[in-house]
Amino acid sequence: MFETMRTLCAESIKQKVWALEDEFCVIDDDWEDAYGSAAALILELHKNPNSSASSGWETIRDEIAPMVKTLNYFSLPTILIIAFKMCKQLGDPRVRHVAADFLRGCLEIARAESARSPRHASLAGLLQGLYHVAEQHSDLESLADMLQLTIPCYIGLVNNHGSSESATALSLLSLYHVQLKSDELWLESTLSKILRLLKRAEAAKGEDHKATIEIMGLAIMVLQGIKQQGKKLAQLCCTMRIRMNRQLSRIPAGNPDRAYFLDRLLDGYHLEIRQAQEDGEDEYAATLEKEYRRLEVEHGKEKDGYAKILDLELKGLTSQLEGTSLS
């Protein structure tokens, strides 16, 4: 599997699919909807293994297929992290098949694309090995362990072609540590690198620049996994909201950057709603949710994968508020 990843990375660099030169630029593969839809499915099946969505792969095929076909920088780690979360959260016998079905679905797409792309041939080889473990041995524990080792190998290979402290490399590292719930020491180390990069970006690009905002988003993502950093997380979330609203007031209608800043603003609301729920602040969570929904309607925002997750998370809150003035 290591060799197939090496080939995939080498081919991507040779074909200039990845551009890792700009230390402040996070390569934007834009697979949030793919990941969000898969995460929403996992959450639903974890809570209700009898759900009609137990077919799994068929439910998310349309969101996942473009990611596998395009095979950009974040495609492989996103596929592997989705499979890992399926292994960890879908242990019920009624839904244990979902991880294998997911890998098989991605494998079929990669095989179909391999006729035109040596990178997809490498991806197919990697997915075939993982699928064999999931299907032939029905061993989700071993598959999870294998995935947990595979992703950092990929990170190491990519960093051979670029700076390990560039925004792109730190974005991939953050995704890995947060989604696989690494020890807080690793999160603290990654956060320190991100905050140093953030200061350089603010000085070089400006506080409200798209690149600066993206790096701030990385810091917020990592901070969510560090228990003792709640104050810093709240501070950055507030700063992010101010900057997003400032940018949305400046950017004219029709400018494609409006969608980017709106997405970041909604992501921030999503995080704050979840935090308020976890802290038992139901009234504040309900207020934030109303603002979240207002922004969706005002800007004609279609529900993405993260909105689907939010809907599931808010079901419990809605039931708690029924019969009160907040419902």
Of 236 and 18, the one with more pLDDT: 236
**Percent of residues, the chain, with pLDDT higher than 70:** 90
* Three-class secondary structure of residue 89 per DSSP: helix
If you compute the radius of gyration of the chain from its CA atoms, what whole number of angstroms results?
Answer: 20
Q: And the tokens for 301?
A: 């925002």
Q: What is the per-residue pLDDT for 67?
A: 94
Residue with tokens 């494609």: 256
pLDDT, one tens digit per residue, over 150-206 is 888 888 888 877 777 888 889 888 988 888 888 999 999 999 999 999 999 999 999
| Domain positions in the chain | 1-162
* Distance (Å, whole) CA 266 – CA 158: 30
pLDDT digits (tens, 9 = 90+) for 24-70: 987 766 687 888 889 989 988 998 888 876 678 998 999 999 999 99
Give the model's pLDDT for residue 308. Answer: 64
pLDDT at 324 over 50: no
Confidence (pLDDT) at 100: 92
What gap in Å lies between CA 179 and CA 177, rounded to an integer?
6
Q: 315 or 179: whose pLDDT is higher?
A: 179
